Amino acid sequence: MFTWGVATSAYQIEGAAFEDGRAPSIWDTFTRVPGAIINGDNGDIACDHYHRYEEDLDLMNWLGVNAYRFSISWPRVIPNGVGSINQKGIDFYDRLIDGALERGIEPWPTLYHWDLPQALQDRGGWMVRESVDWFAEYAHAMAERFSDRVKNWMTINEPFCSAWLGHLSGVMAPGIKNLEKAVAASHHLLLGHGKAILAIKDVKESTKVGVVLNFTPAVPASDSQEDRVAAQLADGFDNRWFADPIFKASYPKDIVEAFDIDVPIVGNDLSIISTPTDFLGMNFYFRQTVAFDEKSTPLKYRQVTPSAERTFMGWEIHAPTLTELLMRFSSEYQPNEIFITENGSAWDDQLIDGKVEDKNRVSYLERHLEALFVAKAKGAPVNGYFAWSLLDNFEWAYGYGKRFGLVYVDYPTQKRIPKSSAHYYRERIKEN
Ligand code: FCB
C-alpha cells in the first residue's frame, strides 16, 4: 500500500511552550534574539496543536491520509535533555498516537526536528561528543514508551539545517557561525542517528528506523569548467556530506579537502553512522543554480537566481528534478525504501469569503506527485509521500509570514480552513 501522509514538526505547531512541565528548547532561546526572526515571531502559541490535536487529527481523517509524520519535542518529554521523564509530555504523545490509530492513521514520529533542550545546549549541544549519548538515551526512552504502537521511527530531520544553518551561517538556532564547530555538530548529529537506530532496535528489533535528509540538487550557472566544479561542491556540501557517511561509511573527499578541517572521527564512528537504515526519508523542495566565486567561504561558490518559476520562498519550481534525484539516489546509494517525507510550497495565500484558492500549491503538488510516480515506474523504491504541511505554521526564521499548509490557519482565532490544495490532495488520495 502506498503511504499517503502529511508532515509537521513540534516547535512549528504545538505551542504550549511553557505548559505541563515543558522546558525551553534552543528555538525558544533563538526566537528571543533581536532580529533573528522576521517580525519577532516565536512558537509560544503556534497552531496551538497541543490543545487542538483532536481537531487536527479529524482534519487528517477527512483528508484520507493513512500516515502522520510529526516530531516529538525533546524538552517536553525530558525537560533537562537527560534524566527524569516528564509524564505529562509522554501523556500528550500517548493521546496523539492513540488518536491517530483510532482514525486508521499510522504515527510516524521524528525524534529530532531541531528543538534541542536548552539545558543541553548549555553543556555544548551538538558541538560536543556527549550529545551522541544524550540523543541515544532519549531515543531509547521514547522507543520504550511508544514502540508498542509506532512501527516507523525517524531519527534526525535534515542534519544539514542543524549543522550548517545552525552552526555555520547561524540563521537558525543555536545561531553559531564557526566552520569547525559546524563540522563537529554534523558529525555528532550523524553519529547520534546511528546510535539511535541501535537504541530503538534494542527495544524492539522489528521496528523500522530511517533518517530524514533534505536534498537540493545543484546545476551549474554556465557550461564553464569552474561553474561545473561549483555545482559539484554544492552537491557535496548539501547532499553528499550527509548521505555518504550514512550509506557509504565515508565523508566526501572533495569537501573534506576543501574545508581543510579534521572531522572529529573516533574509532568505529563511521560504522555506527552507517548502521543499515530501513528506509530513507527524503525531503525535496527545489533545485539550486550555482556559480564559481573565488571570494565565497568555506567553499568557492555562490547561489545565483536565474529567472524561473519560483514559490513565495524564492525557491525554483522544477519537478523533473525530483524524478532525477530519486533515480540517482536509488542507484548510487541503494536504500531499501524511500519515502518523500516532505515536499510542498509557500504562497501568499489570501482568505477571501472564507476560502483560499491556492492554485499554485495545487499545481506544485500535482507536478511533484507526477514526478514521484515517474520514478516509481522506472524502479525507484519510493513507497510514500508526506505533504509539507498539514497546517500553516511557524516557518523558523521566516516566522508566520510563509504559509506552507494545505489547511489555512487564521492565527488570531486558530480557525482551520482547508485550502483548494487540501481538497485536491483528498481527491488524489481517493483516486489512488
Ligand atoms: C524543511 C523543514 C521543515 C519546513 C520546511 C519548509 O527544511 O524540515 O520544518 O520548515 O523546510
Q: Output the DSSP codes for 156-174.
A: EE-HHIIIIIHHTS-SSTT
C-alpha cell at position 338: 524511500
Rounded alpha-carbon distances, angstroms, from residue 6 to 91, 285, 294, 426: 22, 15, 42, 11
Distance, C-alpha 167 to centroid of its chain: 17
388 lines ligand 1 (CB under 6 A): yes
Q: Are 74 and 116 a contacting pair, CB within 8 Å? A: yes
214 lines ligand 1 (CB under 6 A): yes
Helices (runs of H) and strands (runs of E) counted in the chain: 17, 13
Q: How far, in Å, from the CA of 284 to the mean position of ligand 1?
A: 10
- Which of these, 426, 322, 372, 390, lies nearest to 71 by C-alpha position? 390
φ/ψ of 68, rounded to 5, equals: -130, 115
C-alpha cell at position 304: 545565483
Q: Which of 14, 106, 316, 342 is the catalytic position?
A: 342
Question: Hey, what's the torsion of the CAs at 179, 184, 190, 192, to 10 degrees?
Answer: -140
For the chain, the maximum distance between any two Cα atoms, rounded to a whole number of angstroms, is: 62
112 lines ligand 1 (CB under 6 A): no
Quick one: angle between helices 241-248 and 179-203, nearest 10?
Answer: 40
In the block, residue with C-alpha cell 509524564: 87
Look up 316 and say whether it is catalytic.
Answer: no
Q: How far, in Å, from the CA of 238 to the mean position of ligand 1?
A: 15
Residue 167 is predicted with a pLDDT of 98
Look up 342 and say whether it is catalytic.
Answer: yes
Residue 326 is predicted with a pLDDT of 98
Residue 377 is predicted with a pLDDT of 98
φ/ψ of 310, rounded to 5, equals: -135, 155
86 lines ligand 1 (CB under 6 A): no
Residue 376 is predicted with a pLDDT of 98
Q: How far, in Å, from the CA of 393 to the mean position of ligand 1?
A: 10
Q: How far, in Å, from the CA of 158 to the mean position of ligand 1?
A: 8
Nearest CA to ligand 1 atom 2: 158
What CA–CA distance (Å, rounded) separates 35 from 43?
A: 15
Q: Which of 14, 106, 158, 395 is the catalytic position?
A: 158
In the block, residue with C-alpha cell 548549555: 122
Residue 407 is predicted with a pLDDT of 99
9 lines ligand 1 (CB under 6 A): yes
C-alpha cell at position 52: 487542538
Q: Going by DSSP bridges, is the β-strand pair 382-388/106-112 parallel, antiparallel, or unpaired?
A: unpaired
Q: How far, in Å, from the CA of 206 to the mean position of ligand 1?
A: 29
158 lines ligand 1 (CB under 6 A): yes
Strand, helix or coil for residue 425: helix
What CA–CA distance (Å, rounded) separates 139 from 308?
A: 42
157 lines ligand 1 (CB under 6 A): yes
Residue 380 is predicted with a pLDDT of 98
284 lines ligand 1 (CB under 6 A): no
Q: How many CB atoms lie within 10 A of CB 309?
A: 11
Q: Which atom of ligand 1 is nearest to the CA of 402?
A: 6
162 lines ligand 1 (CB under 6 A): no
- Which of these, 40, 45, 49, lies nearest to 17 by C-alpha position? 45
Instruction: Pick out the chain residues at pLDDT < 50.
Output: none
Q: Are 370 and 319 a contacting pair, CB within 8 Å? A: yes
Q: How far, in Å, from the CA of 40 to the mean position of ligand 1?
A: 19
271-301 per-residue burial string, b: 16 or more CB within 10 A, e: under 16: ebbbbebbbbbbbbbbbbbbbbbeeeebbbb
C-alpha cell at position 380: 525507484
Q: Which atom of ligand 1 is nearest to the CA of 157?
A: 8
Best substitution site from 158, 368, 403 to test ligand 1's pocket, by max atoms within 8 Å of Cβ? 158
Q: Which atom of ligand 1 is nearest to the CA of 9?
A: 9
φ/ψ of 193, rounded to 5, equals: -60, -50
Q: How far, in Å, from the CA of 266 to the mean position of ligand 1?
A: 31
Q: Which atom of ligand 1 is nearest to the CA of 404?
A: 6
